[in-house]
Amino acid sequence: MKKDYDVDVLIVGYGAAGANAAIAAHDAGARVLIAEKLDVGGGNSAVCAGAMVIPESIEAAIAYYRALSSGTVGEEMVRAFAEAMVGIPDLLSRLGLEFTAGPPIPPSFPSMMSGRLKQIHIDPTGENGFRFLDGQVKDRKIEILTDTQVKTLIQNPETREILGAKAQRNGQDIQLLARKGVILTCGGYAYNPAMLANFNFPGATDYIFSWGSPGNTGDGISLASEAGAALWHMAAIEWGRFCAREPSKKFGTAIGYGLGRTKRAGSYMFVNKFGERFMAEDALLSHCKEQLEILRYDHGNAEYRNLPAYMIFDQTYLSRGPIAPTAQMLRTKRGGIVGYCLVNKIYDWSADNQAELDEGWVLQAETVADLANKIGARTDVLEKTITEFNRACIERCDSLFGRNEKTLAPFETPPYFAVELGLSLVNTQGGPKRNVNCQVLDHNDGVIPRLYAAGELGSFFGFLYQVGSNYPEAWAFGQIAGKMAATETPLSE
């Protein structure tokens, strides 16, 4: 085979999982090469909030993760995952990363576990965390090929062993020989509308925008599938809060993430195309299934009943400041600036919303009838919605959806405004099925020799997700994959 590079372990994708795999494989004595498709590494890992939610006790963690997984993984994997998560503080210390343990936080799904699970919270931001990992990789002089997209794996048709990969580097075809193995750490498929339609929400992908890195186009799913891998956890995707659809379409990534979540009481409400509210606007949304309210499907009319949807509000709310969190607002908060758009300075919401009004992303109307017309709703329906909302404000009780009374303020001061909602996708969980050693499995649970995967590509999470877990998962299982690949017997000449 022609070989432009001849190494022991090839790592496909340079985020937290790839960096950890590279470090572990290198430290176990392997010659390592990293291929990264974008011009800079980091992936979702470098734009994430960096929250690591770690259980303190393995036994409590096993019970909790078993409940979350809802039968999508076996007992051996549940235990391995619990051990890996509990081991995170040791891993960070071993790597020399300083961190502080935060206060215990409640589990995301307290009804499952109340009182049985304590957790600590560790948060370098994703940007800082990746800077640290990048330094570790560079200290070890591990070669990183950026602008290098792995296109296919090279597989022995008889033994099914993975021998390396073919890639495109700055438009040139190159071949990469990996004598011990290939580790796929190339993230999820949030930027692949065809996969989102196939695995998740057909007919709604025009409304879905990733909050993460544009490199995550599901390449790992195609690469592993071609090599005979079984897929798992394709139905599990992590929703974030709503964003603004029009600018998100323009920039191809979630813009205005967290509309309405500015911690101010306000007249804002979410309405569907009929002008009806459909959910409590203060619902957490992030990582929860509440996002699915907007994706309620009307079988009789063969349409998503609540799409398109809008956030509507009055002049009083608009005057109080930006309707979506800005970089300045986030800078002052724990966790700091998050998301591909803000970390990479693609678009920042204006402090007075004027730029978005000028662009026509925020629509303005002088009357409720005019507002109804602008969003394509019936005036009488929208008027009824607003009357009911204002009654809830007076009664301090949202009897329809149970929104917290402290967030309610009447919709009354013209002009009125509407911004179309987009759904933000934090990340996907699906990918090639793997065992506790991160070896990729075929449809009979047999190992595909010399093929490994780690990180959010084929994550542990198959249904419910514990907030703050994908990031530490990428670190811990990247390490396992790197260590295990390095133990393979090298292919001879």
- The backbone region for 438, taken as left when phi is positive above 0, alpha when psi lies in -120 to 50, beta otherwise, is left
Angle between helices 75-86 and 470-486 (to 10 degrees): 100
Q: How many residues bind ligand FAD (CB under 6 A)?
A: 46
Rg (CA), the chain: 24
Q: Are 474 and 456 in contact (CB under 8 A)?
A: yes
User: Shortest approach of ligand FAD to residue 216 CB, angstroms?
Assistant: 5
CA 215 to chain CA mean position, Å: 12
Q: Are 277 and 267 in contact (CB under 8 A)?
A: no
Q: In b/e form, how buried is each residue of 194-211, taking b as 16+ CB within 10 angstroms?
A: ebbeebbbeebbebbbbb
Residue with tokens 């390396």: 164
User: Shortest approach of ligand FAD to residue 304 CB, angstroms?
Assistant: 24
**What residues between 201 and 260 interact with ligand FAD by CB under 6 A?**
211-213, 215-216, 219
Tell me the residue ranges of DSSP E strands in 283-390. Answer: 297-298, 303-304, 309-314, 362-365
CA 197 – CA 342 distance, rounded (Å): 27
> Closer to ligand FAD at the Cβ: 189 or 411?
189
**What residues between 158 and 197 interact with ligand FAD by CB under 6 A?**
185-187
**What residues between 7 and 66 interact with ligand FAD by CB under 6 A?**
12-18, 35-38, 41-45, 47-51
- Tell me which of 155, 353, 469, 479 binds ligand FAD, using CB under 6 A: 469
Q: Are 242 and 421 in contact (CB under 8 A)?
A: yes
How many residues can be counted in the chain? 493
Each residue 310-339 as x (binds ligand FAD by CB under 6 A) or -, in order, gives ----------------------------xx
Q: Are 388 and 400 in contact (CB under 8 A)?
A: yes
Is 89 one of the binding residues for ligand FAD (CB under 6 A)? Answer: no
User: Shortest approach of ligand FAD to residue 477 CB, angstroms?
Assistant: 9
Task: List 363's β-bridge partners, or say none.
Answer: 418
User: Shortest approach of ligand FAD to residue 441 CB, angstroms?
Assistant: 18
Each residue 390-429 as x (binds ligand FAD by CB under 6 A) or -, in order, gives ------------------------------------xx--
User: Shortest approach of ligand FAD to residue 383 CB, angstroms?
Assistant: 38
Residue 399's nearest CA partner among 303, 265, 267, 277 is 277
**What residues between 423 and 442 interact with ligand FAD by CB under 6 A?**
426-427
Q: Of the listed pieces 62-70, 382-390, 392-400, 467-475, which binds ligand FAD according to CB under 6 A?
A: 467-475
User: Shortest approach of ligand FAD to residue 473 CB, angstroms?
Assistant: 7
Which residues in this chain contact ligand FAD in the complex, by CB under 6 A?
Answer: 12-18, 35-38, 41-45, 47-51, 126, 149-150, 185-187, 211-213, 215-216, 219, 338-339, 426-427, 455-457, 468-472, 474
